[in-house]
Amino acid sequence: MEAQITAQPKLYIGIDIHKRSWKIHCSTDLFSGKSFSMEPEPEFLQKYVLKHFSDYQVSVAYEAGCCCYYAHRCFEGYGWLSLVVNPADIHRKGKEKYTKTDRIDAQLISRELKDGRLDSIHIPSIEREELRSLFRRRNDLVKDFRRIKSYIKMQLLYFGIKEPIEFDNDHWSHAYRKWLDDMIFKHPTAKATLDSRMRFFRFVDKELRDVASQIRAYCRKHHKKDYYLLRSIPGIGGIVACGILCELGDLRRFNNIKHLAGYVGLVPSVYQSGGNYKNMGITMRAHRLMRSYFVEASWQAIRADPVMQAYYRKHHGKNVKSVIIKVARKLLSRTLAVIKTEIPYTNGVLE
C-alpha cells in the first residue's frame, strides 16, 4: 500500500544566538530532534534545512539580544516563520530555572515554539531602527556629560576649592567655564588635569548639541505630523517627542492605553493569593528609558498645564513619587489620544 502525505511536516528551530557561534535545536511535529552548533550566519542554517528538511514548513525563534533583527529578516526572506522573543517570556519548569546552558536554552525555545506558547516582540522597520540608534547615542552622550561634570566638581572638592555663590548651581554658564579656565594651582600638574577635563567637557557638550539637533531635524522632516502633534502636549518637548518616535514608533499600533502603559511600564505590579492582595509598586518589566522620559516630562507638565497641576495638587500629602507616576500615566494617555485622533492637544479636551 502506497503511503500518502496528508499534511505538510513541520520543523521547529530554536536558536541560542551568540557572537561567535549559534547553538541550534531542531525538532519536528513527530520527533524531539537534535542539538548542534554552527557558524553564526543565517545562510548556513538555510543550507542545513534545505539538505535535511527540504519539504518542511519551517518556524524559527531566538531571543532578542546583541544580534538584533538581522537574522530575523534573513529568515523571513527564506519564507520561514520567524519570531524574536523576550527572554523573560520563555517558560522554564523545575530545575530548568537553575540549570542554564546554550544547549538547554535552544531546546527550551524549540519546545515553546512547537507548543505555540511564544509571541514575538515588535520588530521595528530598518528606518526606525537606525533612527533609534542615533537617539540612544544621544543618551550615551548625556551620561558622559554628567560624568565629566562630576569629575570636575570632584577635583574642586578634592583640592578644597570653594565655588563662588553665583556659580553654586547645576547651570554651567560661560562665566563659570571661564572661571574654571582661569583657575591657578600651586603646581602645573593639577592645572593640566583640569584643562584636560575641560577639553573633554567641551567636546561632549558640542557632540551632545550636534546629535540632538540632528535628531530633531530628522523627525521634523520625516515624521512631521506626529512630531508636532506630540509637541502640542504641555510637558513634551523636542527631545521627548523624538524619543517617543524613535523608541515607541507609531503609537497607532497600540490597541488602548492599557496596552501602551504595559509596554512603557507605567502599570502596577500586584500579588494576589487567596484572600491576600498586595500592591508591589510599579512593575519591573518596562521600557525603562521611555518610562524615565515620561516621568521627567510630567514634572514639566504640572508646571506648564493648569489641568495637570490641579490633578497633582488633588493628591497633595501623598507619596510624591507615587503621585508623579499617576501624572506620567495621565500624560501617556494624552499622548496616545493625540496621535490616534490626530488632533493637537487643547487644555481640558483630551483627558
Q: What is the mean pLDDT of residues 224-248?
A: 95
Helix, coil or strand: residue 275? coil
Give Dmax (Cα) for the chain: 101
pLDDT for 95 equals: 77
Burial string for 97-128 (b: 16+ CB within 10 Å, else e) reads eeeeebebbbbbbbbbbbeeebeeeebbeeeb
Q: Which residue has the higher pLDDT, 96 or 223?
A: 223
Residue 80, pLDDT above cutoff 90:
yes
Distance, in Å, from the CA atom of 335 to the CA atom of 346, rounded to the nearest integer, reads 12
User: How many CA atoms, within 13 angstroms, populate the side-chain half-sphere of residue 146?
Assistant: 5
Query: 182: phi > 0 → left, psi -120 to 50 → alpha, else beta; which?
Result: alpha
HSE, CB side, 13 Å, CA atoms: give it for residue 289: 17
Average pLDDT over residues 204-226: 96
In the chain, which residues fall in CATH 3.30.420.40?
10-114
The whole-number pLDDT of residue 240 equals 96
CATH architecture of 10-114: 2-Layer Sandwich (3.30)
Lowest average pLDDT, out of 80-84, 188-192, 308-312, goes to: 308-312
Q: pLDDT, tens digit, for every residue of 248-278?
A: 999 999 999 999 999 999 988 877 777 777 7
For residue 4, what pLDDT is reported? 58
Cβ–Cβ < 8 Å for 144, 204: yes
- In contact, 13 and 26? CB cutoff 8 Å: yes
Cα–Cα distance measured from residue 230 to residue 160, given in angstroms and rounded to the nearest whole number: 46
Which whole number is the average pLDDT over 229-244? 95
Mean pLDDT of the chain: 91
Global pTM reads: 0.87
Decide: 185 and 191 in contact? Cβ < 8 Å: yes
Q: What is d(CA 179, CA 167) in angstroms, rounded to the nearest whole number?
A: 9
C-alpha cell at 312: 497633582
| pLDDT computed for residue 121 by the predictor | 92
pLDDT, tens digit, 9 for 90 and up, residues 273-313:
777 777 777 888 889 999 999 999 999 999 999 999 999 99
User: Is 351's pLDDT higher than 70?
Assistant: no
- DSSP state for residue 251 in the 8-state scheme: G
